[in-house]
Structure 1
Amino acid sequence: MSINWVMLDKNTGFVRLNGEKVLFTSPARTTLELSSPSSYPGKEPISIHCSNGKAYLTNQRLVYLPIASTPRFQSFSAPILNLQDTHVTAPFFGANVFAGILRPVPGGNIPPHHAFVEIKMTFKEGGAFDFSSTYERIKEQMTQALDIARESGRTGAGDLPAADLEQLPAYEENGTGSPLPPLATAQPSSNTPISSQAPAQDATHAAPGGESNENAEANQNYPPPNEPPPGYEETQAATVASDLEENIRRLS
């Protein structure tokens, strides 16, 4: 997880990583909340709230961009496999909520003593269950591909898999709310780095809608960084390997 480390692009919303493709774009007015767990004993709890933005799921990560950025909060991203214990709640009154636990990426502007951070996204205009379904499909395929990569000895940072794009069709905002079709078994993507940067390629579902000139000027006043968070690739590899080893021990 990292704050303000997404490279922005005025035409596509954000710059894609190598081999990255957007599979889901939330409706506008999606709320993001990041906070320390209630049991956190520290003196510096995390509390970040944005009430108007868009969430993007790609075959590699979760990205959230506010409609109007501020000096403190301009963007948010998290590797898919860094999310844990995710679920959707549907209250009797109010919008559906996607919630879970995030493992921060070192160097991503989250204090290092925060081992986990709670995430809550409120879908005021719908899409929570489609978002959750797409996320679970991406996570399942990445986990399967990583298992195969580990068995074959390819577990370096450059060998981390992305979800198989041929098995995960891009989400279409057609207003029907229908779930994505079933997928075949995932195959590893050994030649697709997960953390390399590349110019934007596909802007079909990426650009935030309805951004005013005032918001565009605000984004220009706070330019994004021109490189990923320090140690992103190494940390991603270590985190994924640690999570998978723990899951294997539990199943043994």
Structure 2
Amino acid sequence: MALNWVMLNPQRKFVPLPGERILLTSPSRTTLSLQTPNSYPGKEPLNISSSGGTAYITSQRIVYLPASPTPQLQSFSAPILNLQDTHVESPFFGANSWTGVLKPVAGGGIPPHHAYIKLSMTFKEGGAFDFATSYEQLKETITQAVEVARESGRQQGESDLSDINLEQLPAYEDIGNTTAVSATPQPPIQQPTPITPTATPSYTPQLHSRSTLSSAEGDESSSRRPDQQYPPPDEPPPGYEEAQQQNNHSVVDNLERNLRISK
């Protein structure tokens, strides 16, 4: 933050710094108030104000030029990263204001015992939210550029932003977001095709003359075709002779028993 350090041309327009570009200009009826915060009263409170003027957001700083300069306030400027807790205040009556806390720069015209200064701009003709949005976006971009410069070893200062090219800065990423966004487009997700239920074929159990079948016989019977013909066996099945002898003995025993009973 600096007072009366902005270079002006004969038309009372400020002269840009090297590589500086104007990003936003407020309406001409914008007020400015610089006061010592209540939490930092100090011995000599600061109270500087302007009832009307124009505020600018550039690629490096915020500039304010009063419509009616005074010896106390002819111009005002503040580096982008020297502002904290900036927000818009919307009263029930009156115009919206953009406020924040400023950290003065050394030799900027502010007494050194003022560690922080409260800034307030009232936009009587509108534009407070546009001003706040433009400032927040620029601050995020510059903050990221400074961090990248520090990691690369260039040690870019917070107040020296002339070497930063805003056109080639990477897109801002939220630190709290752990999901990385890939630049390669992903193919659309294929939705599963719904399966139409089909009628379940009815099953009719087959009755067999034999009570049990071995696994080998079951496999063989399942592989047979209805129209397939098989020759008759040449030998009796296993256990056929024993079964016949038992049957013959049973018949003889029954016949003898009946004869004894009849006598």
TM range (shorter): 0.5 to 0.7
Alignment-derived partner of residue 124 in structure 1: 124
Alignment-derived partner of residue 88 in structure 1: 88
How far apart are residue 87 of structure 1 and its match? 0.2
Unpaired runs of 5+ residues, structure 1, are 168-182, 187-252
Aligned residues: 172
Secondary structure of 2:139's counterpart equals helix
- Determine which of 157, 171, 177 is the counterpart of 1:185: 171
Residues 152-210 of structure 1 show CA distances to partners (whole Å, capped at 9, x for unaligned) of: 0111449944564437xxxxxxxxxxxxxxx9616xxxxxxxxxxxxxxxxxxxxxxxx
* Residues 146 and 160, structure 1, Cα contact 8 Å, conserved in 2: no
* Residues 88 and 128, structure 1, Cα contact 8 Å, conserved in 2: yes
Secondary structure of 1:14's counterpart equals coil
Alignment-derived partner of residue 166 in structure 1: 167
Secondary structure of 2:33's counterpart equals strand
**Distance (Å, rounded) in 2 between the aligned partners of 1:122 and 1:107:** 27
**Distance (Å, rounded) in 1 between the aligned partners of 2:95 and 2:41:** 30
How far apart are residue 135 of structure 1 and its match? 0.3
Q: Does 1:24 align with 2:10?
A: no
**Distance (Å, rounded) in 2 between the aligned partners of 1:128 and 1:159:** 25
Secondary structure of 1:13's counterpart equals coil
Alignment-derived partner of residue 142 in structure 2: 142
**Distance (Å, rounded) in 2 between the aligned partners of 1:131 and 1:11:** 24
Change over 3 Å in CA distance of 1:158–1:100 after alignment to 2? closer
TM-score w.r.t. length of structure 1: 0.64
**Distance (Å, rounded) in 2 between the aligned partners of 1:2 and 1:140:** 22
Which structure has more RCO (C-alpha within 8 Å, separation ≥ 6)? Answer: 1
Change over 3 Å in CA distance of 1:3–1:12 after alignment to 2? closer
Residues 128-172 of structure 1 show CA distances to partners (whole Å, capped at 9, x for unaligned) of: 0000000011101100000100000111449944564437xxxxx
- Amino acid of the structure 2 residue aligned with 1:47: N
* Residues 89 and 96, structure 1, Cα contact 8 Å, conserved in 2: yes
Percent identity (aligned):
60
* Residues 141 and 164, structure 1, Cα contact 8 Å, conserved in 2: no
Secondary structure of 2:52's counterpart equals strand
* Residues 104 and 116, structure 1, Cα contact 8 Å, conserved in 2: yes
Alignment-derived partner of residue 184 in structure 2: none
RMSD across aligned positions (CA): 2.2
How far apart are residue 33 of structure 1 and its match? 0.2
Secondary structure of 1:34's counterpart equals strand
Unpaired runs of 5+ residues, structure 2, are 173-263
Q: Which moved more, 1:36-45 or 1:19-28?
A: 36-45
* Residues 149 and 156, structure 2, Cα contact 8 Å, conserved in 1: no
- Amino acid of the structure 2 residue aligned with 1:166: E
How far apart are residue 49 of structure 1 and its match? 0.7
Change over 3 Å in CA distance of 1:106–1:160 after alignment to 2? closer
Alignment-derived partner of residue 154 in structure 2: 154
**Distance (Å, rounded) in 1 between the aligned partners of 2:103 and 2:158:** 20
Secondary structure of 1:8's counterpart equals coil
TM-score w.r.t. length of structure 2: 0.61
Alignment-derived partner of residue 61 in structure 2: 61
Higher CA-based Rg: 2
Secondary structure of 2:17's counterpart equals coil
**Distance (Å, rounded) in 2 between the aligned partners of 1:138 and 1:59:** 7
